[in-house]
Structure 1
Amino acid sequence: MTTHQEFMREAVRLAAANRDRGARPFGAVLVLDGEAVATGVNDIVHSHDPTTHAEMEAVRAAARKLGRPDLRGSVVYASGHPCPMCLAAMTMAGVQAVYYAFDNHDAAPYGMSSEAAYQALRLSLNPPPLPLTRVAVDLSAAQLYGPRAPRG
């Protein structure tokens, strides 16, 4: 069985790899019964689809893999704090908790915060609609969200 920290490391690894391929630095892992069922990365840059956030892609992939839209009992590990769209989709799918590495404050200096969407929708995260827990990772926000290092 993979540990809590390993699932988070995988979400951040997916995000960093996605950034390295020229996409937005977001990754997610959907876990059910202690096993990774599906992963997702933000594909907006390549798909031109504004709904292809990492969490949405993981939820979609898990529902397809399991053959059902009901993901009750699952947990999502996300590299960044989920936006309102992703949080709503996870809530509607039955995800029971979300763990994330970087919050909107960390992402804001890099133009990666979803706080404006929460404000525009007048949504409050106090209290959140499902448990949201920040998990420490061995990477800084600048390393993930900042400019990519040139390839040598």
Structure 2
Amino acid sequence: MIPILLVDAGFVRLWIFHAHPFYFIVVETKDGTVSVAAAFAGHQEAVQDRDHKFLSKAVEEAYKGVDCKDGGPFGAVIVHNDEIVASCHNMVLCNTDPTAHAEVTAIREACKKLKQIELADCEIYASCEPCPMCFGAIHLSRIKRLVYGAKAEAAIAIGFDDFIADALRGTGFYQKATLEIKRADGNEAIIAEEVFEKTKEKFQMY
């Protein structure tokens, strides 16, 4: 093997050799001590192949949702221990539910299947960058990793505009906010706030 890098700092010399699929790191100190470490060069490639496999499934779901007229072209899969536990697409039209985005639907299905409300040991693959609602759902479910394909701009270009901040500012590309927001005051606010104090001993925080 021919070293691909040599560092000589006087008190230590470092060589890096490549013999696929490994990198060998050889360190020689001034007193003649030699140590060798090996790193698996194919790890990154393996991760990329794995991501490609699951993301491709999410893309398939996106096509499926449109073909079935269930909703928009969005798909998502949730993976647990290298196995798909939920494979879903946008169901907004089918369910008459504006919150039935692919990611939210997949999270609901995965939670039911795994019988848990936290998915900290799961990953989610989305065909497109999630909207703010879906990002919120992913955060609340404690999913540890998100991989998405298309940027949000690709969806915006065909009419999907879910940037809440832009909508509220009136700068949304398609959607403008028409929501009126008011916080109750007086006795109504006090009664609503008392709910937390009066129920805190009756439920376990999740």
TM-score range, shorter chain: 0.7 to 0.9
Displacement of 1:109 in angstroms is: 1.4
Instruction: Tell me the secondary structure at the aligned position of residue 100 of structure 2.
Output: coil
Contact 1:40–1:58 (Cα < 8 Å) also in 2: yes
Work out whether 1:52 is the aligned partner of 2:137: no
Name 2:62's counterpart in structure 1. 15
Tell me the distance in 1 between the aligned counterparts of 2:109 and 2:88: 8
Name 2:190's counterpart in structure 1. none
Tell me the distance in 1 between the aligned counterparts of 2:96 and 2:75: 17
Displacement of 1:45 in angstroms is: 1.0
**As a proportion of its length, which structure holds more helix?**
1
Contact 1:72–1:96 (Cα < 8 Å) also in 2: yes
- CA deviations over 1:57-97 (Å, ceiling 9, x no partner): 10000000001101002111011111111111111111112
TM-score norm. by structure 1 comes to 0.73
Name 1:103's counterpart in structure 2. 151
Structure 2: tracts of 5 or more residues without a match = 1-48, 170-206
**As a proportion of its length, which structure holds more strand?**
2
Contact 2:51–2:147 (Cα < 8 Å) also in 1: no
Q: Paired residues, what number? A: 121
Name 2:117's counterpart in structure 1. 69
Displacement of 1:46 in angstroms is: 1.5
Instruction: Tell me the secondary structure at the aligned position of residue 70 of structure 1.
Output: coil
Q: Which amino acid aligns with 2:61?
A: L
> Radius of gyration: which is bigger?
2
Tell me the distance in 2 between the aligned counterparts of 1:54 and 1:7: 14
Q: Give RMSD over aligned pairs.
A: 1.9
